[in-house]
Amino acid sequence: MTSLIKRTILSAALFCAAPIIAAAETINLVVPFPGGEDGFIEVISRYIAEDIDKNTELTVNFIEEAGAERGPFDIMAKVSTGQYEGPTVLTLVNDMFLAGPFVAPETKANPFQPLGSILTFPVVLVAPSSSPYLNFETMADVHFDQTLKLGYLMAEAGSTSQTRAAARYFDFGFDLATPHETPTCDLLQSGRVDVMVTMPELVQDCEDDVRMILALTSEPHPLLPDVETVADIIPPLAMSVRLGYYVTDDFPEHLRPIIKASIEKTLQSERAQALAKEKANELDWTDQQGELEKLRLDAAAMGKIQTYLN
């Protein structure tokens, strides 16, 4: 066999094995969360979109679409029913992914699956440092058969339901503070809430005046290493809040590894690491199989949580 024929066969084999990406191929990356100075999810997603656009042959339309009537659930429905032109990646947190088919039934026909997740949020229940609560159990002892006012990140968030279910487990309760206010130092110090579900970033300015009572995570969080977790006191209710990127079943297979590889590269970049440090988060990529296993455990926990809330 001549060297020319060998080179021709080899070139043909490589051509067939490699995914073909047209230079004009375009995807959407949709973020159903607000941007601005405090919009960590929007900013890190924008970094990811910019890097895909820069480092691959794909063109990315970055779409921030916050403020829908049903919040991210409306955007899930739009993606699932093909209302964006072209393949679409959706930024989503795991509890909303699990609740999506119930809140937005139209997503069932074209369901979502994760590409992977990029971080676990350090969600934590805090109380004033002057309070008598050393941990969640002492709070339950002090307020047995009573109701406390709870500040929270989002009413429909899994962390809010998880906190309320934990209280029911210990025979006390939480009423959600209304109207909703961002769970910052000002809210806790105002006395309008007794305790609140928040993140360290939001209480940095008063960290000496708050006590972290319970990490709303399924395992110790690197940023909350000494805080008791839900898994420590009520294992069946344990779940974490994770930020991930999701696609529908009909998303082109050949694009998935390209996007995942680019996301991983972005997470290692200086600007992404600096943003995470500034916002008191820690980036950590979990691939699709790992995320699917976590979602399976989350679904079981959410089922248990609902039994306490119903």
Give residue limits of the domains in the chain.
Answer: 24-120+241-309, 124-237
Per CATH, 24-120+241-309 and 124-237 having the same topology is answered: yes
Looking at residue 21, its pLDDT comes to 46
Extract the tokens encoding 142: 């002090």
Tell me the CB-side half-sphere exposure of residue 11, using CA atoms within 13 A: 6
Domain 124-237 has CATH 3.40.50.1100: no
CA distances from 204 to 51, 122, 181, 209, 279 (A): 30, 13, 17, 10, 10
| 275 CB-contact burial (10 Å; exposed 0-12 / middle 13-18 / buried 19+) | middle
Question: What are the helix and strand counts (H, E) for the chain?
Answer: 11, 11
Say how many Å lie between the first and final Cα of the chain, rounded. Answer: 75
Looking at residue 17, its pLDDT comes to 42
Give how far the C-alpha of residue 140 lies from the chain's centroid of Cα atoms, to the nearest Å: 29
Which residue in 191, 205, 186, 201 sits closest to 130, CA to CA?
A: 191
Decide: 295 and 286 in contact? Cβ < 8 Å: no
Looking at residue 36, its pLDDT comes to 61
Q: Which residues contact 260 (CB under 8 A, 6 or more apart)?
A: 115, 116, 287, 288
Q: What is the pLDDT along the chain (310 residues), one digit of tens a residue?
A: 444 333 333 344 433 444 444 445 899 999 998 876 568 999 999 999 999 999 999 999 999 998 777 788 899 999 999 999 999 999 999 998 998 888 889 888 889 999 999 999 999 999 999 999 999 999 999 998 899 999 999 888 899 999 999 999 999 999 998 888 999 999 999 999 999 999 999 999 999 999 999 999 999 999 999 999 999 999 999 999 999 999 999 999 999 999 999 999 999 999 999 999 988 889 999 999 999 999 999 999 999 999 999 8
| 68 CB-contact burial (10 Å; exposed 0-12 / middle 13-18 / buried 19+) | middle
Q: What is the DSSP letter of 74?
A: H
Distance (Å, rounded) from C-alpha 78 to C-alpha 6? 50
Extract the tokens encoding 29: 């990356």
Looking at residue 154, its pLDDT comes to 85
Looking at residue 8, its pLDDT comes to 36
Distance (Å, rounded) from C-alpha 218 to C-alpha 301? 10
Decide: 242 and 115 in contact? Cβ < 8 Å: no
| 24 CB-contact burial (10 Å; exposed 0-12 / middle 13-18 / buried 19+) | exposed
Extract the tokens encoding 202: 């939001």
Looking at residue 68, its pLDDT comes to 75
Residue 273 neighbours by CB distance under 10 Å: 13
Quote the longest CA-to-CA distance of the chain: 87
Distance (Å, rounded) from C-alpha 253 to C-alpha 125? 40
Domain 24-120+241-309 is of which CATH architecture? 3-Layer(aba) Sandwich (3.40)
Looking at residue 133, its pLDDT comes to 92
Tell me the CB-side half-sphere exposure of residue 116, using CA atoms within 13 A: 20
